[in-house]
Amino acid sequence: MAWRVVARQELRDLWLAGRGLPLMLAFTVLLSATTYLTATNQSLNFLEQHEAVSLTLQVAVAVGALLALLVAADAFSGERERGTLESLLLSPARRSELALGKLLAALSTWLAAFALACPYLWVLGHGVGATADAVVVGAVVGTVIAVALTGLGTVVSALARSNRLSLSVCLLVLLALFAPTQFPTGAKEGWFGELLQRVNPITAGNHYIGNVLVDGHGWSRDAAWLLSPLAAAVLFAFLAVAAAPRFLTLRGSGPG
């Protein structure tokens, strides 16, 4: 099956010959710094340790999803710029299989980031019994968000005329999604504030993580917050594999 061949080659290009490892190295340096600072805090109390676990997990989800998005944003527009897209389009593989293979390879960035974050979650959380919850909720929420963003990146990449345009659009969308996490508490209150929080898959996912890890809510209590991440994942994965390939051309669309 062509998608397996494409995914395998993309994984080789990403991890054996490409940017995958240096990106993960930078990610683990970041996690190491934050974890060490947390561990040396003498007056860290119980609640703050739960919050540290939650924060570390949210950083892992954010950075892992970001990296997956960046790799996906390069999927087709990068090939276009390097002049290798035509050879790929000349193969008998269906366009949708090309897209699926590239999407899966990009998703591996999130999976690697999450796997690397697990030891840090264990260090921060095992003393307060938060590790298992953190790993499970991170795996679920993080993967759903990563699928959504990877799908988005693949769609944009298929349509964008240049790699610069693809990366710019994806980063802009990501910033727009993460911006509400920095809003003051007052701005998040009220029906409109809560609606924005729920509709945005990033804020909804973060909210769910915080509720489970910090507030100790049960898994199903806030499950409604996972609706928008799930919907985004399904929508963008479908668009990436089924719809965007129909518009995949040698030159792309839009301004260069």
Partner 1 sequence: MTRLLACTVTIAVLAASPASASVDLTISRSHVATQLGDTFAFATTIANTGHTPVSGLVAHLNVVSLTAGVYVDPEDWSSERTQYVDPIRPGGAATQRWKVKAVNGGDFAVYVVALPGRGGVAAGRPLAVSPPLAVHATEHRTLDTAGALPVVLLVPALLAVLWLWLTMRRRRLGLSRA
Partner 2 sequence: MRKTFGTTAAVDDLTFEARAGEVVGFLGPNGAGKTTAIRVLTTILAPSAGRFAVAGIPDSRPGEIRRRVGVLPESAGYPERQTGEEFLRYHARLFGHTRPSARAVAAARLEEVGLSERGSSAIGVYSRGMRQRLGIARALLNEPAVAFFDEPTLGLDPAGQRQVLELVVGIARTRGATVVLSTHFLDEVEEACSRVLILNRGRLVADGTVAEIVRRAAAPQRARARVPAELRGRATQVLEEVAVVSDAPLDWLGLSLPPDGARGMNDALRALVDAQIPVLGFEIEGARLSDAFLAMTEDG
Residue of 42, 45, 92, 185 interacting with partner 2 (CB under 8 A): 92
Residue of 4, 12, 36, 94 interacting with partner 1 (CB under 8 A): 36
Give whole-number Cα distances, 246 to 37, 86, 94, 158, 241, in Å: 49, 15, 10, 9, 9
Task: At 223, list the tokens.
Answer: 């499950």
The residue (of 12 and 221) whose beta carbon lies closer to partner 2 is 12
The option from partner 2, partner 1, none interacting with 9 (CB < 5 to 8 A, set by class) reads partner 2
Residue of 49, 108, 154, 200 interacting with partner 1 (CB under 8 A): 49
- Chain centre to alpha carbon of residue 55: 16
10 contacts 105 by C-beta, under 8 angstroms: yes
Residue of 22, 42, 43, 83 interacting with partner 2 (CB under 8 A): 83
Q: Return the biggest CA–CA distance within the chain.
A: 63
Three-class SS of residue 160?
A: strand
The residue (of 32 and 84) whose beta carbon lies closer to partner 1 is 32
The Cα–Cα gap between 58 and 204 comes to 12
The residue (of 18 and 193) whose beta carbon lies closer to partner 2 is 18
The reply on whether position 90 binds partner 2 by CB under 8 A is yes
The reply on whether position 208 binds partner 1 by CB under 8 A is no
The Cα–Cα gap between 43 and 14 comes to 42
Task: At 123, list the tokens.
Answer: 């260090």
The reply on whether position 185 binds partner 1 by CB under 8 A is no
Q: State the residues that interact with partner 1 by CB under 8 A.
A: 16-17, 21-22, 24-25, 28-29, 31-32, 35-36, 38-40, 44-47, 49, 116, 119-120, 122-124, 127-128, 215-216
